[in-house]
Structure 1
């Protein structure tokens, strides 16, 4: 499936719809929490800035490369988390805490080594998540739309693609006796988590019902089955995310939403198949059963917490936490994987940052970015950086901007104001927001642009205005950031190709 204007799968269209309806049976809060009070900058004098700069220089000088072999690797991926999202997310997090957002130090900012990463795919200036994730975990650039196969593959052509499967770091690690795990707030069969275990000519083949008969006849297997039947080592030890409908038959009711059913056309009950093969493993589908899992007594863990994607963080907390947070899943995954004496490889994806941006909804994107920071902190509190390489990056950016000349301390979700409380006016005499999109569903179709100063721009469902009207905002093609700490982290420097991330992680493990 090639799209002329933008790349988006059916699951991303569903995700965009979920901006208005977060999850089956759930409702978003009508009124968002009030923004924190504006905090004063922690540094207020020339001497203070000079001293702060000297302190940072001292920290940089003191840093020493860690050339040890890594026992563990954790790769965090903020799907769609470009530089503007990083910056706005930092300010948002600081302001929510009542602190000076501009100088706030987010958990990602604490990682000592940084590189810019080129995100183009083999056939596109602006990539989708399938080739970029493949680059990160398999070390090659490939075409938009395909997962775990080389650039020789032909999208949607099963037979032509089959000879060009490429091994992932996760398969390599499993074959060498390491434990492996994947955590995502998207469907666990979505492009980024699927890159760890799947090989497919079409990223949308998450379930057999999505596959054409010709692909089935040619022997192609849907992504959900590939995860359950993964042939490396003894299989993935941890799989936590959404996408329950891809694993249960179309004739079976969902355990959480009785009016919803599975999507499998082949009648297979994949959680039951997995449980039969792993009698000491645990299959869970809500926060209560997840919390009850004892890692010391559980060999493997499969968690599928929504029929489709998991809820946005803002909606998850509003609904009372009926599914675990990204931080809770990360902590449990590390506890499960750490039992392997040789080590482990873990991917943690904040997949819904991307979906919120596709919907032109900065509030949810930033809140999910904060959730990724919290997951990173949970990992940093759980591991020893002397033997664990942690990498935080993104697969691509978005057409998301942070602009204007707002005064320091201006609410990041508000209109541009200088001084605060006095909106800066555009040529049409109306205010405009600091955050916006170059394209997307927030475009103004009427001849007269609405004045955002008369709207609640911090509301959960507010869509920032955009320039070009599209049903779904698109990815951006600009470089993203990779940050790292631990063994071989110093190799993240300068500007690197995205597929080089794989080679650094593999070198750290000594594979």
Structure 2
């Protein structure tokens, strides 16, 4: 039992104790701290952001293929270090957008999606099976017979049906999975040209992806398609891979005012106010990596060049437009365990976003930046602040070695061609040129091509409806945000 006298004594002791607040300095130590002040400024800016609940006239969807959170962070650091500023506190263009969410990227049949199922979720609101584009999850990969009954409309096709314009821009083949997700409906993503298709699919009446782009009805056909992949549109006698002998580029130009271009200079000369549909194919296959531009990229437009020209052309439609812009070779660099290519492609992707943001009006244009899936890129160790992101890992500034007595790099991959094979010993990266363009970071498990990874990816947004990008959402939710922002009715 507690005595009353004891309680009174304790109360008196508290009353007589000196006040901590009175004795302490009234100015907190953190008030002068740089991080604290930066946080205050960020809060002040956040308090000025008001949701834009208006209708979107235009939607620009940026997709960094394979651009997981680790890739974005490493690229942020790399871009800052290349400019000679603090990379760790740096921000890429899309990281400055005010509305952010996480996207759950699993597909209908796998924990880890591929690009075909990923883009289908984003552009149609339906999760499907890996390898399948523009069809429901009922359709099975490579099953031509499943195409007709399982077709789903894409946001680009819906926009066109409402009288808007639509386009797709990519650094990959325009028939590759992500750009194809704006216009194609196929049971197999690799059916890019008829030469890629088995006889049974051709006899079953299924169309290759290049044909689907060119032969789409005018009311839903893309108005702008820029990227690589010329080989899928040309017959063999013209340097292509088509087995049917058709020249689809010539067929494209039969449309009123249509243009076909193959160089950066030709793209520049197009008058956005006068042209009809524009097909730009700037390479036989994928466009070269940015690090290869001095040798292989002469005459090839940058992603920013293509994206801004697409905006100029599409914005001639007073009703508005939809545009997909893909940084497709971010993913390809990671498949190679080649972090330098991955990071430089992400930086170029950011530059394209910055260029488009400078052109559009966020009062009537919804901009969404996301990825279809992540990759197994890992940032590990305790390298000193401002240490090269492509360099060796450290222990808070001190060199560090693994259990085998060898150094390891800040960036590595979970799987891929950088993994040790058989009984080979791990190479010591301390004796290698880590900044060399073709250096492949080490991987935990050896595979011919690095596998995607299944963690959530970021969604960044601004403009009408962007406030709906918040929380942890399904990848297919992104379609619903775009549809709602346009004011299109939900499918019945």
- Tell me if the contact between 1:316 and 1:322 (Cα under 8 Å) persists in the aligned partners: no
1:241-390, aligned counterparts within 5 Å?
A: 241-252=227-238, 261-278=239-256, 280-319=257-296, 321-390=298-367
Instruction: Kindly indicate whether residue 44 of structure 2 is the aligned counterpart of residue 61 of structure 1.
Output: no
**Separation in 1 of the partners of 2:158 and 2:274?**
26
Partner of 1:276, secondary structure, is coil
**Aligned match of 2:6:** none
**Separation in 2 of the partners of 1:426 and 1:46?**
40
- Tell me if the contact between 2:288 and 2:297 (Cα under 8 Å) persists in the aligned partners: no
Q: Which of 387, 395, 408 is 2:372 aligned to?
A: 395
1:271, CA displacement in angstroms? 0.5
**Separation in 2 of the partners of 1:150 and 1:237?**
25
Instruction: Kindly indicate whether residue 139 of structure 2 is the aligned counterpart of residue 153 of structure 1.
Output: yes
**Structure-1-length-normalised TM-score:** 0.88
**Structure-2-length-normalised TM-score:** 0.91
- Tell me if the contact between 1:338 and 1:344 (Cα under 8 Å) persists in the aligned partners: yes
**Aligned match of 1:490:** 467
Tell me the alpha carbon deviations over residues 133-154 of structure 1, each in whole angstroms, 9 at most, x when there is no partner: 0000000001111100001112
1:444, CA displacement in angstroms? 2.1
Moved more, 146-155 or 315-324: 315-324
Instruction: Kindly indicate whether residue 430 of structure 2 is the aligned counterpart of residue 444 of structure 1.
Output: no
**Aligned match of 1:124:** 110
Tell me the alpha carbon deviations over residues 246-293 of structure 1, each in whole angstroms, 9 at most, x when there is no partner: 0000122xxxxxxxx200001110000011223x22211112212222
Q: Which of 410, 420, 430 is 1:434 aligned to?
A: 410
Moved more, 86-95 or 289-298: 289-298
Is there any run of 5+ residues in structure 1 with no aligned partner, and where? Answer: 1-43, 253-260
Moved more, 141-150 or 288-297: 288-297
1:160, CA displacement in angstroms? 2.5
**Separation in 2 of the partners of 1:204 and 1:162?**
18
Instruction: Kindly indicate whether residue 80 of structure 2 is the aligned counterpart of residue 94 of structure 1.
Output: yes
1:107-118, aligned counterparts within 5 Å?
A: 107-118=93-104
**Aligned match of 1:28:** none
Partner of 1:297, secondary structure, is coil
**Separation in 2 of the partners of 1:442 and 1:46?**
46
**Aligned match of 2:213:** 227
1:45, CA displacement in angstroms? 9.2
Q: Which of 122, 131, 134 is 1:136 aligned to?
A: 122
**Separation in 2 of the partners of 1:109 and 1:164?**
37
Partner of 2:236, secondary structure, is coil
Q: Which of 197, 200, 206 is 2:183 aligned to?
A: 197
Partner of 2:86, secondary structure, is coil
**Aligned match of 2:16:** none
Partner of 2:415, secondary structure, is strand
- Tell me if the contact between 2:171 and 2:329 (Cα under 8 Å) persists in the aligned partners: yes
**Aligned match of 1:70:** 56
**Separation in 2 of the partners of 1:298 and 1:75?**
23
1:237, CA displacement in angstroms? 1.0
Moved more, 64-73 or 296-305: 296-305
**Separation in 1 of the partners of 2:464 and 2:115?**
27
**Aligned match of 2:22:** none
**Separation in 2 of the partners of 1:63 and 1:360?**
39
Compared with structure 1, are the counterparts of its residues 80 and 234 closer, same or farther at alpha carbon in structure 2 (3 Å cutoff)? Answer: closer
1:161, CA displacement in angstroms? 2.8
**Separation in 1 of the partners of 2:32 and 2:289?**
42
**Separation in 2 of the partners of 1:112 and 1:50?**
20
Is there any run of 5+ residues in structure 2 with no aligned partner, and where? Answer: 1-29
Partner of 2:62, secondary structure, is strand
1:313, CA displacement in angstroms? 1.3
**Separation in 1 of the partners of 2:396 and 2:480?**
49
The number of residue pairs the alignment matches comes to 458
- Tell me if the contact between 1:353 and 1:369 (Cα under 8 Å) persists in the aligned partners: yes
1:109, CA displacement in angstroms? 1.1
Q: Which of 217, 220, 230 is 2:203 aligned to?
A: 217
**Separation in 1 of the partners of 2:41 and 2:75?**
25
